[in-house]
């Protein structure tokens, strides 16, 4: 039986230490924490926009000093450019979902770098939820874009091969959310494990190197998840078959 939590050993977590929470459910508490953090962040940004409106400044004009809003605006703009490379003009339509997935995964991953916190993304439950949302979304967009003709994507190039290609394509589509979430969970578990092992060996200074490596991995995995999601969407809404 495949266990949905990948970590075999028990990692230290503040939730299970102070609140006596069962270790198998820490990721749910962490997911709630991340959600609260994102809600708080967006409320802050929203208030800054509202303040601008009340003063009479154009909210489209960025702040003149370095502020949280500037950082978020720069980040989202870069992200938007990247999606534009893949999705073209459709980027605006799908940006909401993709960017929120990116932010959620990124902040979740970074949670794992804070001592005493576990990333919610090192558990398959969290990731499979996001993966399934992406799966449903791109299939819905495909049907919306080309109607029943979307099924042609599953048929392959020539008529005699249809029975074979249909099965192959079906399996490859079903495996997509699983591979998406397994990759994220595996990477986060591995990253956390490496950090834990090296912190046990030498508590001073050496883990900092792996902290930096973990920082890179966290960013890259959130990036890859959204990148692959946008590629799947682009493939579903394309017309060239």
Partner 1 sequence: MKKWLVSIVTFVVCFLPMASAFAAETTKAGSNAAGWAIALAAGIGLGIAAFGGALGQGRAAASALEGIARNPEASGKLFLPLILGLALIESLVIYAFVIALQLVGKL
Number of chain residues interacting with partner 1 (CB under 8 A): 30
34 belongs to the binding site for partner 1 (CB under 8 A) = no
223 belongs to the binding site for partner 1 (CB under 8 A) = yes
Q: Quote the CA–CA distance of 27 and 71 in Å, as a whole number.
A: 28
CA distances to 45, 56, 169, 240 from 152, in Å: 44, 53, 11, 10
HSE-up of residue 23 (Cα within 13 Å, Cβ side): 12
2 belongs to the binding site for partner 1 (CB under 8 A) = yes
- Per-residue binding string, partner 1, 59-98, x by CB under 8 A, is -----------------------x--xx------------
211 belongs to the binding site for partner 1 (CB under 8 A) = no
Phi then psi dihedrals of residue 10, to 5 deg? -95, 120
Of 211, 54, 197, 192, residue with least CA distance to 119: 192
- Per-residue binding string, partner 1, 36-65, x by CB under 8 A, is ---x--------------------------
CA distances to 12, 51, 155 from 115, in Å: 9, 36, 50
Of 41, 51, 97, residue with least CA distance to 73: 41
Binder to partner 1 among 18, 22, 60, 64 (CB under 8 A)? 22
Q: Which stretch, 67-75, 98-106, 110-118, 218-226, contacts partner 1 (CB under 8 A)? A: 218-226
Q: Quote the CA–CA distance of 91 and 78 in Å, as a whole number.
A: 13
Where along the sequence are the contacts to partner 1 (CB under 8 A)?
A: 2-3, 6-8, 21-22, 24-25, 28-29, 32, 39, 82, 85-86, 179, 182-183, 185-187, 189-190, 220, 223-224, 227-228, 231
């Amino acid at each position: 039986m495949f266990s949905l939590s990948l970590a075999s050993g028990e990692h230290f977590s503040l939730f299970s230490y102070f609140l006596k929470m069962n270790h198998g459910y820490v990721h749910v508490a962490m997911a709630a924490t991340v959600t609260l953090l994102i809600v708080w962040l967006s409320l802050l940004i929203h208030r800054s926009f509202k303040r601008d409106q009340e003063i009479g400044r154009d909210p489209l004009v960025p702040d003149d000093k370095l502020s949280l809003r500037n950082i978020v605006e720069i980040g989202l703009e870069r992200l938007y450019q990247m999606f534009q490379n893949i999705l073209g003009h459709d980027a605006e339509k799908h940006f909401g979902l993709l960017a929120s997935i990116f932010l959620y995964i990124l902040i979740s991953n970074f949670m794992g770098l804070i001592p005493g916190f576990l990333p919610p993304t090192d558990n398959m439950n969290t990731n499979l939820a996001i993966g399934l949302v992406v799966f449903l979304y791109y299939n819905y967009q495909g049907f919306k874009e080309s109607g029943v003709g979307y099924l042609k994507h599953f048929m392959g190039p020539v008529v005699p091969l249809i029975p074979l290609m249909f099965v192959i394509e079906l399996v490859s589509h079903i495996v997509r959310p699983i591979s998406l979430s397994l990759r994220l969970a595996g990477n986060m578990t591995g990253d956390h494990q490496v950090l834990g092992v090296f912190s046990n060996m030498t508590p001073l200074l050496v883990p900092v190197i792996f902290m930096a490596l973990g920082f890179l991995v966290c960013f890259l995995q959130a990036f890859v998840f959204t990148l692959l999601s946008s590629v799947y969407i682009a493939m579903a809404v394309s017309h060239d078959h």
